[in-house]
Structure 1
Amino acid sequence: MRVKEVRRAKIMKNSLLYTALLSSALTLPSATAYAGQWTLGLGAIGMEEIYHGQNESYTLFPVITYETENLSVGVEGAFYQFYGDENSPLGLYTGIGISGNGYDSGDATILKGMKTRHDGVDLSLGSEFDLGVASLSAAVAGDISGHHNGFKMSIGLESSLPVNRYLIVAPSIKMEALSKDYVDYYFGVNDSEATVARSAYKGKDTVNTSASLGFITPLTEEWLIVNQLAYTWLGDAISDSPLIKRDKVFSGTIMTTYTF
């Protein structure tokens, strides 16, 4: 059974870290959504810094989505479910969304003098299969913006476990493969950018693995509070970069949403 509240917990900017920490941002529209349903809200995420000399480890983000039976549009992109409904265990979707781990040279000490890296725009194809007690998802997405020119593939398993009327526990695990072009663009160091403290580095294919535990509290039919704890193991091609200070990242998220 697809649980709509879990979908709302995924609505964030689709960067590498946010994607890993909050599961996939390629949101599959709920087959039971009411036509013309809006969800608005505000959230905050705090995480361990990954760059050497990074100044901030928290971000506020808006939650804005418009959802119909087959379409979901929000700050993370637009996704259309072209196969499957509430009576089918399999759902297939396609969409366009923001991706990447863009930064400016002022975001961390180690990035000073680096060229700005821009977020990409991905064209994606994905699926979700309802296993009853859990949901299995898979997706592939490639950049069409010409920024990182890479692609990523992911597979994940998530579940929604109602404890009582005021609490749903949502554990999930995910693996995400990133192409060498993606890794090199965001975590590589060009020869012209190399310094004594920052050697040249060429990215290569890698895989991130993450696990999360969400706590969803329905206050009313319209209001939700979502908390999530996540742990991500960065792939070697990322953690070996001279820009990166750690190979594991812990994060915590809280947000509240209103649906009408």
Structure 2
Amino acid sequence: MTHIPSTHPRAPRRQATTLPLAAAAAWLALMATPTSLWAQQPEPHAQEPAWGLGLAVSTDRKPYRSFDHKVRPLPLVTYENRWISIMGPGVDFKLPSAGPLDLRLRSRFGFEGYEAKDSPHLAGMAERKGSLWLGAAATWHTGVVDLSAELLANASGHSKGHQLTLQAERRFQAGAFDITPRLALQRQDRKTVDYYYGVENHEARPGRAAYAGSAALNLQAGVRVGYTLAPRQWMFVDLSTTRLGNAIKNSPLVDRSSQPAVTAGFLYRF
């Protein structure tokens, strides 16, 4: 499920910090992980361009029945300047801040779909494709917790849906360690759920009835633990689990009520 996830976790800072966040997903097949993996928050008024390279491995337990789960390598690429932020498959265009409120236009490519070969229970299902998502995001830095909202619409013409994500997170520093817990609520509309979890009449089989999805509320809890090896070197582990809404759990394609994910990686900031 894309998410999020989100979404503005932060790594150890310098003047224009950039980083992929915990559902690191620059690898195409992995964008089903929450978008919070990639979201980030730079220093306010950051001017100097900064970029980073790294590598991670990630796995998530998709809710589809007997789905082929794999551990995948993730190339991490980040870039940040005054007007743009690139994080894996996502690009943010920064708008003028309004005090503690950061505003952005957001584009992201998601790989939430599947192919029939991914599970024997998906045999006879048409491919569900990943999509380009466009929208806006806002983050309010309260001084105690960062509150964010992200509204994205499917711009690829596949599901033709949209999703709204609300998230709260806070970063704690303890020497070389940083710990960032987060809690997010995501609403996926009827079209999105129906596209990825619905079953068309011509796809129905014995044991797989036709199913029309409806809007779903998904709840995610996660924590990212980072460690600064050197001033420019940072490693992290991100753990999360997403409790799926009833409209997803009730799909005949699904046999799980939650979707856990783990990502670990290393980033070098230039």
TM-score > 0.5 by shorter chain: yes
Residue range with higher mean Cα deviation, 154-163 or 219-228 = 219-228
Using the alignment, how far apart are the partners of 2:132 and 2:104 within structure 1? 17
Instruction: Name the SS of the counterpart of 1:258 in structure 2.
Output: strand
Structure 2 partner of 1:46? 59
Structure 1 partner of 2:123? 112
Using the alignment, how far apart are the partners of 1:123 and 1:197 within structure 2? 36
Structure 1 partner of 2:33? 18
The one-letter code sitting in structure 2 at the alignment partner of 1:151 is H
Using the alignment, how far apart are the partners of 1:197 and 1:27 within structure 2? 43
Name which of 170, 190, 194 aligns with 1:159: 170
The one-letter code sitting in structure 2 at the alignment partner of 1:141 is L
For these two proteins, the number of residue pairs brought into alignment is 254
Structure 1 partner of 2:255? 245
User: Is 1:8 aligned to 2:14, yes or no?
Assistant: no
- Report the CA distance shift for 1:24/1:204 in structure 2 as closer, same or farther (over 3 A): farther
User: Is 1:256 aligned to 2:262, yes or no?
Assistant: no
Instruction: Name the SS of the counterpart of 1:219 in structure 2.
Output: strand
User: Is 1:65 aligned to 2:78, yes or no?
Assistant: yes
**RMSD across aligned positions (CA):** 2.2
The one-letter code sitting in structure 1 at the alignment partner of 2:33 is Y
Alpha-carbon distance, 1:74 to partner: 3.4
TM-score (norm 1): 0.90
Instruction: Name the SS of the counterpart of 1:244 in structure 2.
Output: coil
TM-score (norm 2): 0.86
**Contact 1:28 / 1:81 at 8 angstroms: preserved in 2?**
no
- Report the CA distance shift for 1:177/1:3 in structure 2 as closer, same or farther (over 3 A): closer
Structure 2: segments with no counterpart, 5+ residues: 1-7, 13-18
Alpha-carbon distance, 1:248 to partner: 1.4
**Contact 1:28 / 1:80 at 8 angstroms: preserved in 2?**
no
The 5 A counterparts of 1:74-93 are 74-84=87-97, 88-93=99-104
Structure 2 partner of 1:206? 216
**Contact 2:9 / 2:40 at 8 angstroms: preserved in 1?**
no
Using the alignment, how far apart are the partners of 2:60 and 2:187 within structure 1? 21
Structure 1: segments with no counterpart, 5+ residues: none
Using the alignment, how far apart are the partners of 2:66 and 2:220 within structure 1? 24
